[in-house]
Structure 1
Amino acid sequence: MSLARHGAGVGATLRAFWSQVHPIFMLPPLAASLFGAVLAREAVPVLAAVHVVAMFAAVYTAHIKDGYVDFYVRDEDDDHPLTERGCRVGLSLSTTVFTLCCLVLLALVGWIAVALTVPTWLIAYYHAPQLDMNPVTATTGYPLGIALSLFAGFYVQAETIAAVPLGFAVVFLVLLSGIKVIDDAKDYDYDRSIRKRTVAVALGPDSAYTVAYGLMITALLVVVAFAVLQVFPPTAVLAALAFAAVAVVAQRAPPDLATMLLIRGSYVFLAVLVAAVWFEPLARVG
């Protein structure tokens, strides 16, 4: 039985599986893992690579499962490159890779590293159709996965719990939750028709925008406050200013464009934070 719905042979199958790699949504968790490693200051490349592969496998699981649910269960999408069997094979492969990475982390680091990593797969697998039907979990699932990726990426290297990576994880959770609210708002009409309770459906589009920008402003203020308190390096304020500039432009844009601008703004935000930590080393972490 074929794994790909369009075409036959190895090439068509590989293209179908590759189609489930969505860089815009996949890069942030991988970058967050590496940022966690940077915060540890003396990263071991092998450990960083293992955790990055685990995050790739987790996000790939989410993409496969989400596509399967949207096309085969909800009849939401017009097309899907994989057959039902192809989706099951993809889930099995990604889960196997994730499990192997966890076993390596267990052997090289310890059970706490695994305990911080496993929830990312659980969020990915259960996002659809369970978590995405509730306003809170639909909004915070992806941001929480990125926050855990950052924190676990640090722990894998440092084998300790510290204030700095925890602070950054919280900032990303709040900031990205705001972006996710706006991202969901663009599907307001459809989500309402299938009784999918996003924040926009639960509160209405106007209130959802208020919540979204309230979350993002809160995250930026936390960055500034932590910089003033010397928890974050002072130059981290530049990251807040850079994202704030993008948010001001996005506020006047329609949902689709606003989402695109804010997601790319989060890339800039992360890049400036990496530079702030890399070029201005912290005397101590935690």
Structure 2
Amino acid sequence: MALARDETGVGPTARALWSQVHPVFMTPPLAASLFGAILAGGVDPLLAAVHVAAMFAAVYTAHVKDGYVDFHVRGEDDDHPLTERGCRLALALSSTAFALCCLVLGVLVGPVAVALTVPAWLIAYHHAPQLDTNPVTATTGYPLGIALSVLGGFYVQAATITAVPLGFAVVFLTLLSGIKVIDDAQDYAYDRSIEKRTVAVVLGPDRAYDVAYGLMTVALTAVVAFAVARVFPLTALLAALAFAAVAGVARRADPELATMLLIRGSYVFLAVLVAAVRFDPIGRLV
């Protein structure tokens, strides 16, 4: 039985499997894992690579499962490159790869590393059709995965959890939840027609935007508070300022453009935080 819907053969099958790699959504979890490793100080390349691979497998699982449910089960999508058998095979491969990564982390680091990693796959696998039907879990699933990626990336290097990675995990969870509310608002009309309960459907677009930017404001305020308290490097203030500028522009844009701006703004936010943790030029001057 064919794995790709349009063509048969090794090439089309490989392209169909690779089509489930979405860089825009995969980059943040992988970067968050490396960010957690950088927070820990000394980075063991092998442990960092294994944890990044685990996060890749988890997000790949989410993409395949989401596409499978939306096209083959719900009939919401117009097309999908994989057949049902292809989706099941892709899920088996990604889940096996994730399990192998967890096994390696368990041997090289310990059971706590596994306990911090496994929830990422659980969120990914159950996002559709379970978690994406509730406004809270539909909004926080992806951000929670990134928060766990930060914590796991830190733990596999330091074998402990401190206030710093916890603080960053909470900030990312809150900030990205706000972005996710805006992202979901793009599909407000369609989601409402199929009774999918996103925040925008439950509260209405205007109130959803207020909630979204409220969450982002809380996250940026937390960054400022942690920096002033010297829990975060002082240079982290620049990250909050940069994202606030992007959010100010996005606030006046439509949901599609706002989502694009905010996602890219989150990349800048993370990049400045990495520089803050690694170099902290402002902290060195004070």
Structure-to-structure mapping, 1:54-65, within 5 angstroms? 54-65=54-65
In the TM superposition, residue 195 of structure 1 has moved relative to its aligned partner by: 1.1
The amino acid that maps onto 2:193 is: S
Structure-to-structure mapping, 1:27-66, within 5 angstroms? 27-66=27-66
Residue in structure 1 matched with residue 217 of structure 2 by the alignment: 217
In the TM superposition, residue 73 of structure 1 has moved relative to its aligned partner by: 1.0
* Distance (whole Å) between structure 2 residues aligned to residue 43 and residue 2 of structure 1: 43
SS in 1 for 2:16: helix
SS in 2 for 1:275: helix
* Distance (whole Å) between structure 1 residues aligned to residue 219 and residue 136 of structure 2: 17
In the TM superposition, residue 74 of structure 1 has moved relative to its aligned partner by: 1.1
* Distance (whole Å) between structure 1 residues aligned to residue 86 and residue 61 of structure 2: 13
In the TM superposition, residue 280 of structure 1 has moved relative to its aligned partner by: 2.8
SS in 2 for 1:8: coil
Task: Map Cα deviations across residues 79-102 of structure 1 (whole Å, 9 max, x no partner).
Answer: 000000000000000000000000
Residue in structure 2 matched with residue 106 of structure 1 by the alignment: 106
| Aligned-residue RMSD, C-alpha | 1.0
When normalised by structure 1's length, the TM-score is 0.98
SS in 2 for 1:177: helix
Residue in structure 2 matched with residue 233 of structure 1 by the alignment: 233
Residue in structure 2 matched with residue 200 of structure 1 by the alignment: 200
Q: Does 1:279 align with 2:279?
A: yes
Residue in structure 2 matched with residue 123 of structure 1 by the alignment: 123
In the TM superposition, residue 6 of structure 1 has moved relative to its aligned partner by: 1.2
The amino acid that maps onto 1:178 is: G
In the TM superposition, residue 180 of structure 1 has moved relative to its aligned partner by: 0.1
SS in 2 for 1:232: coil
- Structure 2 gaps, min length 5: none
Residue in structure 2 matched with residue 6 of structure 1 by the alignment: 6
In the TM superposition, residue 194 of structure 1 has moved relative to its aligned partner by: 1.2
Residue in structure 1 matched with residue 247 of structure 2 by the alignment: 247
The amino acid that maps onto 2:31 is: A
The amino acid that maps onto 2:230 is: Q
Task: Map Cα deviations across residues 163-195 of structure 1 (whole Å, 9 max, x no partner).
Answer: 000000000000000000000001011111111
List structure 1 runs of 4+ shifted beyond 6 angstroms: none
* Distance (whole Å) between structure 2 residues aligned to residue 172 and residue 11 of structure 1: 38
The amino acid that maps onto 2:207 is: S
The amino acid that maps onto 2:113 is: A
Residue in structure 2 matched with residue 183 of structure 1 by the alignment: 183
- The count of aligned residue pairs is 282
The amino acid that maps onto 1:153 is: G
Residue in structure 2 matched with residue 79 of structure 1 by the alignment: 79
* Distance (whole Å) between structure 1 residues aligned to residue 161 and residue 269 of structure 2: 24
Residue in structure 2 matched with residue 68 of structure 1 by the alignment: 68
* Distance (whole Å) between structure 2 residues aligned to residue 91 and residue 250 of structure 1: 36
In the TM superposition, residue 161 of structure 1 has moved relative to its aligned partner by: 1.3
* Distance (whole Å) between structure 2 residues aligned to residue 51 and residue 196 of structure 1: 33
The amino acid that maps onto 1:164 is: V
In the TM superposition, residue 258 of structure 1 has moved relative to its aligned partner by: 0.3
SS in 2 for 1:7: coil
The amino acid that maps onto 1:62 is: A
% same residue: 79
* Distance (whole Å) between structure 2 residues aligned to residue 239 and residue 174 of structure 1: 15
- Structure 1 gaps, min length 5: none
* Distance (whole Å) between structure 2 residues aligned to residue 174 and residue 134 of structure 1: 17
Task: Map Cα deviations across residues 199-242 of structure 1 (whole Å, 9 max, x no partner).
Answer: 00111100000000000000000000000000000000000000
In the TM superposition, residue 7 of structure 1 has moved relative to its aligned partner by: 1.2
Q: Does 1:261 align with 2:261?
A: yes
* Distance (whole Å) between structure 2 residues aligned to residue 8 and residue 142 of structure 1: 33
* Distance (whole Å) between structure 2 residues aligned to residue 235 and residue 161 of structure 1: 22
